[in-house]
Structure 1
Amino acid sequence: MTVLVFGASSQIGRYLLPLLCTRGELVVALSRVSRAATAGVTWMTGSLPDCMPAVESVSAIFSLGPLLSLAAWLKRTDLPHAPRIIAISSTSAETKRYSEVSTERELSRQLRDGEDALADACVRHGSEWTVLRPTLVYGVGLDKSLTPVAQRAMRTRVFPLPAGHGMRQPVHAEDLARAALAACDTPAAAMKILSIGGGERLPASEMFARVRRSLPVDTLPLPLPAWVLRLARRGVPGFRGPLSRLEVDLIADNTEMSRLLGIQPRPFRPDADCWRPPA
């Protein structure tokens, strides 16, 4: 039987593929571009929902990309073995639901619509599903949140440190990959949406301070007090959403996830490797 992985070249996929290979699974990974051969992994070129090559005898599917595209493909694909489906969403499905920025509200809606569409599509195949909603994901230099901040600071040697008492709970991509694998093996996790955050909650200001301390170069700290952030929020539309959440808690309750999956995510202790994109 075959394990099919969508979004395999993502930061989560880079940890998930080796875990699957150690189990002796036949792993087929989909990518939009041609990939060099990887031990234990068959790479196929395509994209959801329309340009997907045929894959036989699928027993499990891991989706690390957009849920609406996955659901659209599932609705018109024959999967006779009722594969177990594990999909990654985001806590933004809730935390951005009432954002003052319309594009963020739309993102939240799309995430929730994708979760609903996935559940509906699984009915057609008799497939059990689990959705994981992570907080901010980091770990391999591919995230769009902390890595750009770290890389910009390494180039300029200046690190902006915004004030912010809102709590954060970054989750490492490897812990999320292990949770996805555990969900696949845990019948009690079926038909559930499970939130997952890191093993530590800390103020946003401390999160950025730890990123700065993890860098391999010295940087000049540039404190950004609340009044500066208020001006930037009004004057720079692109910053409005992130700055408006600096005083808002963006955390997850790991209780049910840990109870069902036995996963205890690590605390936020980044090092320089977290901000280096893979070759």
Structure 2
Amino acid sequence: MTVLVFGGSSQIGRFLLPLLLARGDNVLALSRHQRAAQAGVQWLVGELPDAMPAIGPVSAIISFGPLSGFARWLESADLSLRPRVIATSSMSAETKRDSDVPAERAISQLLHAGENALIDVCTRHGCSWTVLRPTLIYGAGLDKSLTPIAQRAMRMRLFPLPAGRGLRQPVHAQDIAQAVIAALDQPEAAGRVLSIGGGERLPASDMFARVRASLPVTTVPLPLPAWLLRLGRHAVPRLRGPLTRLEADLIADNSELQRLLGVTPRAFRPDAGCWVRRGTGNGERET
């Protein structure tokens, strides 16, 4: 099977490429920058949707980038082999849909529009598709949520611990990569939008405490009580959304994922390696 991957150097892609190679697949991976040679992977330089190199027929296409640009490129791509299409969206499509913050509602609308555009173009071309909606992703040191908090705490030796009763369900990037592999081989996953969260739901305050416990250095805890967070929501408008969500459940139902793909994501037990940039295996320096 020849598989084209958009986002091969992303946090999910870094776990996916070795899994594809282990299966014996031929892998084409797109990057915006020239990358060093990697055994079994042909790196292409380009950017969705318009600055793309010529790509011939492929058996499967996997995308971890923005859905709207991916769907626009698919419109004119060579889909003569009717490739299997798998893409990631986000659970923010649901969890931010009814937010009282306009910018967050806009994110939800954008995600839904991207999903619908992808589904439409795949349907018109006769390609089977699966969309995965992950919760908060961690594990490769590239996420924009927990990794910046962990790295800042390691530099400053101070770890803010906000109160928060809303449930969280962080999902490891490798578990998402495993779900992609399973979806490639499972015809029943076609035509499905599947949520994927971690194997454990825990209060936001406990999630932050576990991140702190995983760090390789000692940090001083800085509790942020609920009254202070309420004050922050009113005093700093740009923080209203993130601080309000500390009391909201941001979780996923994994029942369909487990039934169709047989994938059971791990519980949230991070270690220090989760907050260090994971290399792609192509000579990229880890930081």
Instruction: Give TM-score, length-normalised by structure 2.
Output: 0.96
> Which amino acid in 1 is paired with 2:85?
I
Counterpart position of 2:48: 48
Runs of 4+ in 1 over 3 A off after TM superposition: none
Counterpart position of 1:179: 179
What is the RMSD computed on CA atoms of the aligned residues?
Answer: 0.9
Counterpart position of 2:69: 69
Instruction: Give TM-score, length-normalised by structure 1.
Output: 0.98
> Which amino acid in 2 is paired with 1:231?
L
Counterpart position of 1:245: 245
Deviations 1:23-70 (A, max 9, x none): 111100001111111121100000111011112221000010100001
Matched-pair contact (CA < 8 Å) for 1:169–1:250: yes
Counterpart position of 1:31: 31
Counterpart position of 1:124: 124
> Which amino acid in 1 is paired with 2:111?
L
Matched-pair contact (CA < 8 Å) for 1:75–1:124: no
Distance of 1:26 and 1:54 partners within structure 2: 17
> Which amino acid in 2 is paired with 1:20?
L
- Post-superposition shift, 1:261? 0.2
Counterpart position of 2:220: 220
- Post-superposition shift, 1:124? 2.8
- Post-superposition shift, 1:219? 0.4
- Post-superposition shift, 1:123? 1.9
Counterpart position of 2:232: 232
Matched-pair contact (CA < 8 Å) for 2:166–2:203: yes
- Post-superposition shift, 1:235? 1.5
Distance of 1:232 and 1:40 partners within structure 2: 50
Aligned length: 279
Counterpart position of 1:255: 255
Counterpart position of 2:205: 205
> Which amino acid in 2 is paired with 1:132?
L
Distance of 1:55 and 1:148 partners within structure 2: 36
Deviations 1:230-273 (A, max 9, x none): 11111222321111111111111100110100001000000001
Secondary structure of 1:97's match? coil
Deviations 1:150-190 (A, max 9, x none): 01111111100000110000000000000011011100000
Matched-pair contact (CA < 8 Å) for 1:2–1:56: no
Matched-pair contact (CA < 8 Å) for 2:56–2:78: no
Distance of 2:40 and 2:265 partners within structure 1: 27
Secondary structure of 1:58's match? coil
Distance of 1:218 and 1:172 partners within structure 2: 24
Distance of 1:215 and 1:237 partners within structure 2: 31
